[in-house]
Amino acid sequence: MSKHDAEIRKKVETEIQEHKQIVEADTYRQNYHHMPPVGLMNDPNGFIQWKGTYHLFYQWMPFETAHGAKYWGHYTSEDLVNWKHEAVALTPSEWYDKDGVYSGSAIVHDDQLHLFYTGNIEGEREPEAEYQCLAVSQDGIHFEKKGVLIETPKGYTGHFRDPKVWKNGDQWYMMIGAQTEDKQGKAVLFRSEDLQNWEHIGPVAGSKEGKLGEFGYMWECPDLFELDGADVLMVCPQGLEADGMDYANTYQSGYFVGKWDETAETFQHGDFRELDRGFEFYAPQTTRDEKGRRLLVGWMGVPDQYEQAHPTVENGWVHCLTIPRELKWNGERIIQNPVPELAHMRGPVLMHSSITIENDQKAVRGVQGRSIELNLDFESLEDMFAIELFQYASLSYKDHVVTLSRPNLEDRSKTEFRRVKLDEGLKNLRLFIDQSSLEIFINGGEEVFTSRIYPQAEEEHILFTSLGSTTFSVEKWDLKGYEYS
């Protein structure tokens, strides 16, 4: 570690200590979500399980609740439930990453943890250069930077980042999110035999590639992986126009399913599908854990959307990550569900079966709280059903359409909506509610809404409304959070 790096680390530690009291006293602080100890958190990075331990890094600006020269913060866990906040893993300390250690991924090779990341150099308004870099670690805690591996090839702008590395047989591959000089978003592939020397193969998918028409001016955070026999490219295209219920956030996050041909090094794929229908979800990253599961964590935020309007900003922190989810492919779409380990957070179950509400609004005894899991199974639903949460957000269902509404974060007198149309009727809802967030898994994880919520601090009430008659059962668990050590 250079002297400069050591000084930066000390500054980060001081910043955490100085803000600790005010940050931790914030009533919107969560119980079981990853948050920055201070400052701004964005993308999950370097998600991996190594020697049993899960490592989850994240984009972190410790000195402001705004974007800027990012660091890699670091959490570890043995069980995906209890997490430890480790010392900052990477700082912007070198000429090639001085304006930000941007997003990237992790692999294990030669018994060392390898982090691939983007070193960002800012220009006046856009990045001037983005380098793909490597850092390695013997112990998973201390990292040694190995410098620049890849410089941006000709034909691309300064937006060239977010390396995701994986192995196919004897070959290593790296996928990078990119923008061409004519402002088309692409996922660009490189190949290597030794993780040092990388050969530029070219775009394997992107706006105006293959059968895809105009599809965004920049693609961020690409992630290609196999899931239950399907090949999936997850990516965050920027610049898609809102289209009915689709593409409602500033930037999108979703996936293409197709065939990765490792001989031809091509990816033929079908249509893009959004991963999440809520207000805050972006830059997800997956890993295959030691049990062989495909796990996903996303950022509960969207760039440029309400960046400063979150009320936690005044207490010195902003944004968090989603709970860890397990992915499955059902032949038609990706199914997302919370990892089963989260059941260890549960207290005793409270259960009501066959509740009928008819043209009425009701509370259900004991079904309330701000750190809870709810599971609703519907027996019959005639017309419209809604759940009102904490006099703040509402989730409603009618004519196959699920709508989540909440006050606009910038102007609370306005209500805003996110919607999705289900293929079939509403059968099941699973809600993970934390102090200031909401993750709703619909019909066994076919659709998900992820959002921040900012109700009054003490508000715990949940009301159920039905037009016509609805019969459902509900289970509720209080969730104890993890210790923030």
The residues binding ligand FRU (CB under 6 A) are 42-43, 59, 70, 102-103, 118, 161-162, 220-221, 282-283, 303
Shortest Å distance, C-beta 68 to ligand FRU = 9
Shortest Å distance, C-beta 45 to ligand FRU = 8
Residue 83 vs 282, nearer CB to ligand FRU: 282
State the number of CA atoms in the 13 A half-sphere of 400 facing the CB.
5
Shortest Å distance, C-beta 111 to ligand FRU = 28
Closest C-alpha to 439, from 447, 454, 450:
450
Shortest Å distance, C-beta 127 to ligand FRU = 9
Exposure pattern of 248-267 as b/e (b: 16+ CB <10 Å)? bbbbbbbbbbbebeeeeebb
Exposure pattern of 215-236 as b/e (b: 16+ CB <10 Å)? bbbbbbbbbbbebeebbbbbbb
**Secondary structure of the chain in HEC code, one letter for each residue:** CCHHHHHHHHHHHHHHHHHHHHHHCCCCCCCCCCCCCCEEEEEEEEEEEECCEEEEEEEEECCCCCCCCCEEEEEEECCCCCEEECCCCECCCCCCCCCCEEEEEEEEECCEEEEEEEEEEECCCCEEEEEEEEEEECCCCCCEEEEEEECCCCCEEEEEEEEEEEEECCEEEEEEEEEECCCCEEEEEEEECCCCCCEEEEEEEECCCCCCCCCCCEEEEEEEEEECCEEEEEEEEECCCCECCECCCCCCCEEEEEEEECCCCEEEEEEEEECCCCCCCEEEEEEECCCCCEEEEEECCCCCCCCCCCHHHHHCEECCECCCEEEEECCCCEEEEECHHHHHHECCCEEEEEEEEEEEEECCCCCCCCCEEEEEEEEEECCEEEEEECCCEEEEEECCEEEEEEECCCCCCCEEEEEEECCCCCCEEEEEEECCEEEEEECCCCEEEEEECCCCCCCCCEEEEEEEEEEEEEEEEEECCCCEC
Residue 135 vs 431, nearer CB to ligand FRU: 135
User: From CA 62, how far away is CA 72, in angstroms rounded?
Assistant: 10
Shortest Å distance, C-beta 70 to ligand FRU = 5
Catalytic residue among 5, 26, 43, 231: 43
Shortest Å distance, C-beta 40 to ligand FRU = 9
Residue 30 vs 59, nearer CB to ligand FRU: 59
Residue 310 vs 476, nearer CB to ligand FRU: 310
Q: Is 43 a catalytic residue?
A: yes
Closest C-alpha to 35, from 85, 77, 105, 76:
85
Shortest Å distance, C-beta 59 to ligand FRU = 4
Residue 140 vs 298, nearer CB to ligand FRU: 298
Residue 120 vs 287, nearer CB to ligand FRU: 120
Shortest Å distance, C-beta 309 to ligand FRU = 17
| Sign of the torsion formed by the C-alpha atoms of 94, 97, 100 and 101 | negative
User: From CA 36, how far away is CA 42, in angstroms rounded?
Assistant: 9
Residue 158 vs 303, nearer CB to ligand FRU: 303
Shortest Å distance, C-beta 114 to ligand FRU = 18
Q: Which residues are catalytic?
A: 43
